[in-house]
Amino acid sequence: MIDKYTVDKLGYIDEDIDSSVNLVEEIKLLKKQKDAVILAHYYQNPEVQDIADFVGDSLALSVKAKNLKSKIVVFAGVKFMAETTKILAPSTKVILPDLNAGCSLADSCDYESLKNYKDIHPNHKVVTYINTTAAVKTISDICCTSSNAERIINSIPKNEPIIFAPDRNLGNYLKNKLQKENMLIWDGFCHVHQRFSLEKLLEIKKSNPGSLIISHPECPKPIILVSDYIGSTSQMIEYTKQSKSKSFIVATEYGVIHEMKKLSPEKNFIPAPPEDSTCGCNDCSYMKMITLKKLYLSLLHEYPIIELDKETIDKALIPIERMLAVK
């Protein structure tokens, strides 16, 4: 038995595991015994991606959540993703191995601030990136992910004004690309994508002249402007698979390179350098909170779980379903 009060305070189960325990084998066994699946985002550690039943980007993970058949889902990702799963599959037990796995974008847009902004601009449609809390989704008109953002904006009549929240980089990228003048953009950003250094990126390009720069639209404009390709994680992965190029400088979270290498082992993938040279990596500290040990313990004890009240689920489901209906 675990002490749920302590786990709730800590955010995860902290228990010693005997070094003889083979975590991978134990997780496989528990999945079978408990009718559980593991869903993982491409930003997860390689060993976590490898044990998952499904690895995808934010959109693919939402589609998967909508069609879940299993009793339990362990979500190897961050909290807003686990919440989205709970909203789409309310009767499923959704486990997040570490409740501290947040998101700087979701943190940048709280319910009250968005509500106040909405009240000042009552004629605007509220489009929120899926990287938001369930509470923020309850006051959104439609959600989007980086895979379908263009389609979602284009599904709204051109003359209708929009509030786009919370990612300013994705918002400005869409506003310019789609020439959507009447679009107000929230001032949030992802701490991983914001810190790429243009100067260092260009230095790397100079020493690897044949390499293509590929970036996620959460990157700031200077990075976007020098990129050969811009897309969501799954679109970037697909691009590297299809491209004739043999080398890529990858401007997004480092974890995505695992799948790129799997699909194209003969190709070279160089992580784009962050500004802070003492770091030398582009890891999302939140995504990387999910470890094999936490996966194992959370599945074993079926805790910590995502809990949302029915009203929140019902209201937050509306913008997510509207998003999924846009083809």
Residues in the chain, overall count: 327
- Considering only residues 52 to 91 of the shown chain, the ones binding ligand SF4 according to CB under 6 A are 78
HSE toward the beta carbon, residue 178, CA cutoff 13 A: 22
User: Is 213:226 a contact under the CB 8 Å cutoff?
Assistant: yes
Q: Taking Cα atoms as reference points, which of 45, 110, 83, 82 lies closest to residue 285?
A: 45
Measured from the CB atom, the residue of 45 and 233 that comes closer to ligand 13P is 233
Residue pair 87/137 in contact (Cβ under 8 Å)? The answer is yes
Nearer to ligand 13P, 128 or 147 (CB): 147
Q: Which does 87 bind (CB under 5 to 8 A by kind): ligand SF4, ligand 13P, none?
A: none
Window 231-270: contact mask with ligand 13P (x via CB under 6 A): -xx-------------------------------------
CA of residue 164 relative to chain centroid, distance = 17
Among 59, 88, 174, 190, binds ligand SF4 (CB under 6 A): 190
Burial class from Cβ neighbours inside 10 Å (0-12, 13-18, 19+) for residue 266 reads exposed
Query: In this structure, how many other beta carbons lie within 10 angstroms of the beta carbon of residue 217?
Result: 24
Are 11 and 303 in contact by the 8 Å Cβ rule? The answer is: no
- Cα–Cα distance for residue pair 93/303, rounded to 1 Å: 9
Please give the angle made by the CA atoms of 292, 298 and 302, to the nearest 5 degrees.
150
Does position 131 bind ligand SF4 by CB under 6 A? yes
Judged by CB under 6 A, which of 13, 38, 76, 105 binds ligand SF4?
A: 105
Instruction: Pick the closer one to ligand SF4 by CB: 124 or 147.
Output: 147
Amino acid at 265: P
Smallest gap from residue 201 Cβ to ligand 13P (A)? 19
* Residue with tokens 């789409």, as numbered in its chain: 88
DSSP label at 251? E
92 binds ligand 13P (CB under 6 A): no
Q: Which is nearer to ligand 13P, 7 or 143 (CB)?
A: 143
Nearest-approach distance from CB 285 to ligand 13P, in angstroms? 12
- Choice between 124 and 171, CB closer to ligand SF4: 171
Q: Which stretch binds ligand 13P (CB under 6 A): 88-96, 145-153, 222-230, 240-248?
A: 145-153
Minimum distance from residue 80 beta carbon to ligand SF4 (Å): 8
Backbone angles phi, psi at 143, to 5 degrees: -100, 170
> Looking at 147, 169, 227, 240, which residue binds ligand 13P (CB under 6 A)?
147
Q: CA 67, 69, 73, 76 torsion: positive or negative?
A: negative
Options 170, 230, 236, 287; binder of ligand SF4; rule CB under 6 A: 287
Name the segment binding ligand SF4 (CB under 6 A); options: 11-19, 153-161, 233-241, 279-287: 279-287
By C-alpha distance, which of 295, 308, 313 is closest to 24?
A: 295
Give the residues lining the site for ligand SF4 (CB under 6 A): 43, 78, 103-105, 131, 190-192, 253, 284, 286-287
Give the residues lining the site for ligand 13P (CB under 6 A): 57-58, 131, 145-147, 190, 218, 232-233
